[in-house]
Amino acid sequence: VGMGAVLGAVGVGCGIPHLVRSILLDDWRRCITVCSLIGGVSSIISLLLLSEGPLGTRAESSKSCQASKSCTTKTNEKNDEYSSCQNKLANITDECPGMSIKTSLDSMKHEGAGANMTIKDAEAIKLEEVHAEEGLETGRRIQNDREICGFEALKVASSWKGVMGSIFSDINGVLRNPECLCCIIAYCGHNYELFGIWAWYRQYCDDSRVGRYVTKDVDTMEQGSALAAFLVMACSALSPMVTSLFADYFGRTRVCLISVVISLGGGLAIGDTMNCPHSVLWAGWAWCMVTLADAAQYGAMMAEVAPPDLAATALTMQFGIGYLFSLPGMIIIPAVVPTVGWAWGWRFLCVGPLVALLALLKLCTLPGAKRIQ
């Protein structure tokens, strides 16, 4: 349901430029400026109100890395101190080869006493004895620090090559997983159709004279078309949340299959309503609502079928590739409509739900998808 709310908000957000255009029809520069400001304000609100999720974040990883770096710095400082003490101890043992530090000092005391050594010599021997004790104590502290730190910094500070190798390994793991691959393909087909509708429905309303039906005025027909496009997209925003409730009870693949089949039928039939503005408005709303209805389920399916250690990578790939495939849907309409008309132009978008349908049918046959059916 949460994902459904997010996707519903996306639908409203994509319709806001049409709303702004219906108000600022004659000034496209102001229209772009207003839409940009709305997007900026929305981003700031999200940044202030939303918190981090339950999974690990980069901030936590950064703290861990900083702690490891601090541990490494302290260890290096103690290593330097230990090396200095070792050098001092080496000078002592060089004078008395074959003896331990304590034996060497005792021997030096005895020999010095027999030769009536001066106070300065005695102080020097005492100082060396203190250095020896400090060296032993420092060695013990360093050993304890190494056990505590465990040289975590060496594990965290992995090489760039190792990081890239891990990323490509995760990507390869996602692509080799048939359930994840089916979810990605289905989402690509879904976005291909959805964004094609969102991008060109207003122009379809213009050519169908829907604006006159909305505003009852020929002079404001273009504004009426833009307002109609916004209303159609905004009124479809509740469908992902409602669909999510049904998907939790009846299975995600079943709900997606029903939505894709209805959306496919809508794409085949919507072009035949062009000569009836009333039908263009209501049929377009129904088509847009059904197409958006299953938008939240593709991400939810991916999160459930992907291996836990690959879930984040799988979701990132799904959304990234899916939005990439929204471009062909937006490009193909203006390329074919001048030649074949709107009826067949919309039917070119039916390739998307058809591909999604085949991918979902394949997903239903896979063992890993049983928990989402």
CB atoms within 10 A of CB 296: 25
- What is the pLDDT at residue 145? 55
Matching residue, tokens 């992907």:
306
CB atoms within 10 A of CB 25: 13
User: Is 204 in contact with 222 (CB distance < 8 Å)?
Assistant: no
Amino acid at the residue 327: L
- What is the pLDDT at residue 138? 61
Polymer length of the chain: 373
Average pLDDT over residues 33-51: 83
180 Cβ neighbours under 8 A, 6+ residues apart: 174, 302, 305, 306, 310, 314, 318
Enter the tokens of residue 3. 């994902």
Phi, psi of 214 (to 5 degrees): -80, -45
Residue 264 has pLDDT above 80, yes or no: yes
| CA gap 285, 181 in Å, rounded | 31
- What is the pLDDT at residue 96? 45
Average pLDDT over residues 301-307: 90
Amino acid at the residue 316: T
User: Is 3 in contact with 296 (CB distance < 8 Å)?
Assistant: yes
Matching residue, tokens 């604006």:
211
Residue 64 has pLDDT above 50, yes or no: no
236 or 351, which is more confident? 351
- What is the pLDDT at residue 328? 92
| CA gap 301, 304 in Å, rounded | 5
Enter the tokens of residue 247. 């998907």
Quick one: the chain helix, strand, coil %, rounded to 5? Answer: 85, 0, 15
Residue 27 has pLDDT above 80, yes or no: no
Average pLDDT over residues 326-331: 92
> 20-34, 36-50, 266-280, 321-335 — which is least confidently predicted?
20-34
Letter string b/e over residues 111-125, b meaning 16 or more CB atoms within 10 A of that residue's CB: eeeeeeeeeeeeeeb
Enter the tokens of residue 349. 């978008």
pLDDT in tens, 239-258: 888 888 888 888 888 899 99
pLDDT in tens, 67-82: 445 545 555 555 555 4
Residue 262 has pLDDT above 70, yes or no: yes
Q: How much of the chain, in percent, has pLDDT values that exceed 70? A: 66
Q: Mean pLDDT score of the chain, rounded to an integer? A: 76
pLDDT in tens, 163-176: 667 778 888 889 99
Alpha carbon of 107 to those of 79, 102, 231: distances in Å? 30, 9, 99
35 or 151, which is more confident? 35
Enter the tokens of residue 272. 């035949």
Residue 370 has pLDDT above 50, yes or no: yes
Enter the tokens of residue 207. 């050519």
Residue 151 has pLDDT above 90, yes or no: no
Residue 28 has pLDDT above 80, yes or no: no
Task: Select, from the ranges 140-144, 184-188, 235-239, 292-296, the one with the highest average predicted confidence (pLDDT).
Answer: 184-188
Average pLDDT over residues 259-275: 89
| CA gap 16, 144 in Å, rounded | 62
149 or 311, which is more confident? 311
DSSP 128-177: HHHHHHHHHHHHHHHHHHHHHHTTHHHHHS--HHHHHHHHHHHHHHHHT-
Enter the tokens of residue 256. 């997606």
In angstroms, what is the C-alpha Rg of the chain? 35
Average pLDDT over residues 149-160: 49
Enter the tokens of residue 148. 């505590």
- What is the pLDDT at residue 136? 58
- What is the pLDDT at residue 367? 84
pLDDT in tens, 79-123: 555 455 555 545 544 444 444 444 444 554 444 444 444 554 555
- What is the pLDDT at residue 87? 56
